[in-house]
Amino acid sequence: MDLELVTVGTELLLGFTLDTNGAEIARRLAAAGIRVVRRTAVGDRADEIRDGVAQALRRSRAVLTTGGLGPTRDDITKLAVAQLYGAELDFDESVWADLVARFTRLGRTPVASNRTQAQVPRGGVVLRNRWGTAPGLWLEGAPGLTIMLPGVPQEMRMLLEHEVIPRMASRAGGAVIRSRTVRTTGVAESTLAERMGEVETEIAPLTLAYLPGLDGVDLRLTAWQLGEDEAERRLAAAAELLSTRGGEHVYGEDETDLAALVLERARQLGWSLGTAESCTGGLVGVRLTEIPGSSDVFQGSAVCYSNRLKTELVDVPSALIDAHGAVSEAVARAMAEGACRRLGVDLAVAVTGVAGPGGGTPEKPVGLVWYAAADRDGTAARSSVFLGTRREIRARAAQAALNLLRVRLSPRSDR
């Protein structure tokens, strides 16, 4: 079954509010075998709402709206959609009773404008909202099917789960839409595509999408409208194939976080971790400490932004900085080794670079980052030139440092 989303709210068009509802609805419906084929945002105007819903119905015969079901003058979704169906709005006493009871529990009294929330298009089905004041609505007729949900994320989410998906699952005929993501880092999208070869034809009927981001390139596999067992079997086999071809750049699947993976590997080895950071200003430590329970592995960080603190905190010789510059392999290695000693850890990573937007030279351009990891087996150093804004360069550098930790925590044969 195909369906379109129409999100209602002038704030969406002005950019003051992000449409997080649309993304969540698409994911949840896909899991039930319902494909969202288009998303449209319209303002809080009756003509825009009617036009957006009417066009969606003409294309797909099914549409889900969010927003515009509240008690204020700009909440006109229900009226605009009812007009498309030629349906009058009737006052529903049971909806009003539920609303009054909810207000009473909250120690409040509904006002006259709240009565509009108890109006229901004739022939429509009320989707009882036990988590808020605006009920959802299910309206089916000659134009097609329109499902109206409130825009408040929590209310939308609960109505979708408890009222909408159970009604729609049977229409999908047992088919599902499932996705699985293989996560990579430290490799360009074009290089990764070369490694994959003609994989799209090998995994058909699954589809493959390349999703580059600050953390790397995610490979998203999708099984469209297959039986659940077949979808899972095909996705597992395809993910294994992608992981094999991605090689050392693959670090996990789906929601795997590289920092969490590093912590778990260190925990298994009984190793402690530390960082020495210059251009990243503590971002590597932030990534690690965002993971609950990190304190049993991560000991701390020396944020040594200035050359003076590189010398005082992690023992980088001043002569080394004078000879090679702060952004250099020699200094990155010295920072990592010094952090190991001064922090008393088994493995430390160091980062130093030119985050920009100024400060670059032909020899050391903006985006150049050196990072090194030191442990009982020695020290390894790498460099990259990252593109993007200052924030993006720093984020990519932190991810690269975490990946170097992952490599150092791998068996020696895999390094």
| pLDDT tens readout for residues 184-240 | 999 999 999 999 999 999 999 999 999 999 999 999 999 998 988 999 999 999 999
DSSP H or E segment with residue 4: strand 2-8
Smallest Cα–Cα separation from 405: which of 262, 258, 248? Answer: 262
114 Cβ contact partners less than 8 Å away, ≥ 6 residues apart = 71, 99, 103, 133
Quick check: 170 pLDDT over 80?
Answer: no
Q: State residue 1's pLDDT score.
A: 75
Closest Cα partner for 386 from 377, 378, 396? 396
Residues 115-124: tens digit of each pLDDT: 999 999 999 9
Whether pLDDT at 414 is above 70: no
Encode burial over 27-62: b for 16+ CB neighbours within 10 A, e otherwise.
ebbbebbbbbeeebbbbbeeebbbbbbbebbeebeb
Q: What is the tens place of the pLDDT at every residue in 104-157?
A: 988 989 898 899 999 999 999 999 999 988 899 999 999 999 999 999 999 999
User: 40 CB contacts (<8 Å, ≥6 apart)?
Assistant: 4, 5, 6, 7, 52, 55, 56
What are the distances in angstroms from CA 58 to CA 33, 36, 140, 144?
21, 15, 14, 8
| 139 phi and psi angles, rounded to 5 deg | -125, 120
* Residue 413 clears pLDDT 60, i.e. is over it: no
pLDDT for res 32: 85
Q: Where are the beta strands (DSSP E) in 62-199?
A: 62-66, 89-91, 119-121, 125-127, 136-141, 144-149, 175-184
What helix, strand, coil percent values describe the chain, rounded to 5?
45, 25, 30
**pLDDT at residue 390 above 60?**
yes
Full-model pTM: 0.80
- The pLDDT of residue 415 is 63
CA-atom Rg of the chain in angstroms: 28
Q: Rounded to the nearest 5 degrees, what angle is found at the Cα of 390, between the Cα atoms of 386 and 396?
A: 40
Determine contact, residues 355/393, Cβ cutoff 8 Å.
yes
Q: pLDDT at residue 350 above 90?
A: yes
Q: Name the β-bridge partners of 119.
A: 91
Q: What does the alpha-carbon distance between residue 125 and residue 202 come to, in Å, rounded to a whole number?
A: 46
Query: Which residue in 4, 9, 22, 11 sits closest to 153, CA to CA?
Result: 22
pLDDT of 388 > 90? The answer is yes
Strands 35-42 and 2-8: parallel
Q: What is the mean pLDDT of the chain?
A: 94
Show the tokens assigned to 89: 């709005």
Average pLDDT of 334-355?
98
Q: With contact defined as beta carbons under 8 Å apart, do 50 and 81 qualify? A: yes
pLDDT digits (tens, 9 = 90+) for 8-49: 999 999 998 889 999 999 989 988 889 999 999 999 999 999
